[in-house]
Amino acid sequence: MKGFAAALLIWTLLSPRRAGGEAWPTHTACRNGNLQVLYQSCDPLQDFGFSVDQCARQLKPNINIRFGMVLREDIEQLFLDVALFSKGLSILNFSYPVCEVDLPKFSFCGRRKGEQIYYAGPINNPGFEIPEGDYQVLLELYNQDHATVACANATVLYS
């Protein structure tokens, strides 16, 4: 859970393309003073909604988020892969199990294709201070069959 929150906080697009060559719009997850977190879906077939209630340089260990989308795949199991970059260099890569068969952590675990996911509530993360700079994050949620459930490119801008 710790990495999930931190990872979801940091989204925006590097260069996704939908059918017809159009990219999904860039969304603002949060903005506060010199800190801005933007994201864009990199799934060519689907966009989604995400926001963070508190946008602060000091990320608290328990933050509230909102996430919503319609599923194109079943999610008996759900995993998150995160890759963090700064100035083109890889800083961090990790994977996190969001939903496991014997350990459903969220109410949407076990949902089926065509159903809507909406989660509004707290997620745990390690709590840390966001250092000054620009960061890019690639996030991918995928199911037990390795089918993409959601994909996003994110940008964190802090000056």
Question: pLDDT per residue over 106-119, tens digit each?
Answer: 888 999 999 999 98
The residue type at 82: V
DSSP state of 41: E
CB 110 within 8 A of CB 99: yes
Residue 159 has what pLDDT?
A: 87
CA-CA distance, 59 to 75, in Å (whole number)?
29
Answer whether residue 10 shows pLDDT above 50.
no
Burial (CB count within 10 angstroms: exposed 0-12, middle 13-18, buried 19+), residue 93: exposed
Residue 22 has what pLDDT?
A: 78
Answer whether residue 17 shows pLDDT above 60.
no
Rounded to the nearest integer, the mean pLDDT of the chain is 84
Q: Specify the pTM.
A: 0.78
Q: Where are the alpha helices (DSSP H) in 15-143?
A: none
Residue 20 has what pLDDT?
A: 53
CA-CA distance, 103 to 97, in Å (whole number)?
10
Reported as a single tens digit per residue, the pLDDT across 34-76 is 999 999 999 988 999 999 988 888 888 888 899 999 999 999 9
Residue 130 has what pLDDT?
A: 84
Residue 129 confidence class, pLDDT cut points 50, 70, 90: confident
Residue 3 confidence class, pLDDT cut points 50, 70, 90: very low
pLDDT above 70 as % of the chain: 87
Residue 1 confidence class, pLDDT cut points 50, 70, 90: very low
For the chain, what percentages of helix, strand and coil (3-state, to nearest 5) are there?
5, 55, 45
Residue 11 confidence class, pLDDT cut points 50, 70, 90: very low
Residue 21 has what pLDDT?
A: 60
Tokens of 80: 């998150």
Question: Which domains are delineated in the chain?
Answer: 2-158 (2.60.40.770)
Question: Which residues neighbour 151 within 8 Å (Cβ) at sequence distance 6 or greater?
Answer: 16, 41, 42, 43, 138, 139, 140, 141
